[in-house]
Amino acid sequence: MTNPTVFESARTRRPRAAVVANIPPLSTWPFPPLDDLDASAAALYHKNRLAVEMYVAKRNETEIKQRTGYTVSKARRLTERCLRTHPLTERMVGL
């Protein structure tokens, strides 16, 4: 089951201010255990995390693209995915 708010926002492409409004500080987001990731998976995780951090910090599209290789749309989708809640635990998915 998908979170209708996130699904709808991805479809309507809300502005960044609407996506990041009222979100908890990044330091309080759940983080996955990284010990078991191989080098390529860990590198991808850190790249995705940087894109989310930059998007939430309202960095411009050029900087996000230069540092991560991602468009601002991709950074928004990653951020929205992090903000979803898990259907069983009802906790935010996080980074």
What tens digit of pLDDT does each residue of 74-95 get? 999 999 888 888 788 777 777 7
Tell which wins on pLDDT, 29 or 61.
61
> What is the C-alpha separation between 37 and 86, in angstroms, rounded?
21
pLDDT beyond 90 at 29: no
Give the position of tokens 């209708």. Answer: 4
**Chain length of the chain:** 95
Q: What percent of the chain has pLDDT over 90?
A: 42
SS3 82: helix
Q: What is the pLDDT of residue 28?
A: 85
The HSE-up count of residue 61 (CA atoms within 13 Å, CB side) is: 6
